[in-house]
Amino acid sequence: MTTLEAHNLFCARQDRSVWPDPIDADGIDVWPAAMTAAVVLAGDGWLDQCTSDAGLDEAVKHFNMLIGGDVVTDEQWEQETLRVLGEFMQRGDELCRMMGGVDAVN
């Protein structure tokens, strides 16, 4: 699974019980990106091996143990979340250019 695929699955969720705390940046919901970052930081190829929401949940649970044990820091999680958001935005820019730019999309 790619980061974009994982992000899309997390975006589509109504049930956020795997990590019930809201995560926002300046009032913007970044929970899907933070969960995607958690899967990446779970290490050991978790993202590559995930094929479903259940796999993503297991990776987030593993990440929770890592961050709880100070193996992964809050700063690392924040940086990875920002990287995921940047990748998502870059893909959006690429798609917009492929479709002929902002004027063509609007």
Average pLDDT for residues 83-94, to the nearest whole number?
86
- Please state, in angstroms and rounded to a whole number, the distance separating the CA atoms of residues 94 and 30: 21
Report pTM: 0.86
Contacts of 41 (CB under 8 A, 6+ apart): 63, 66, 67, 72, 76, 77, 80
Residue 47: predicted pLDDT: 95
Residue 92: predicted pLDDT: 75
- Please state, in angstroms and rounded to a whole number, the distance separating the CA atoms of residues 58 and 53: 9
Average pLDDT for residues 75-90, to the nearest whole number?
93
Nearest C-alpha neighbor of 6 from the set 79, 58, 66, 72:
58
- Please state, in angstroms and rounded to a whole number, the distance separating the CA atoms of residues 81 and 42: 13
pLDDT > 90: percent of the chain: 75
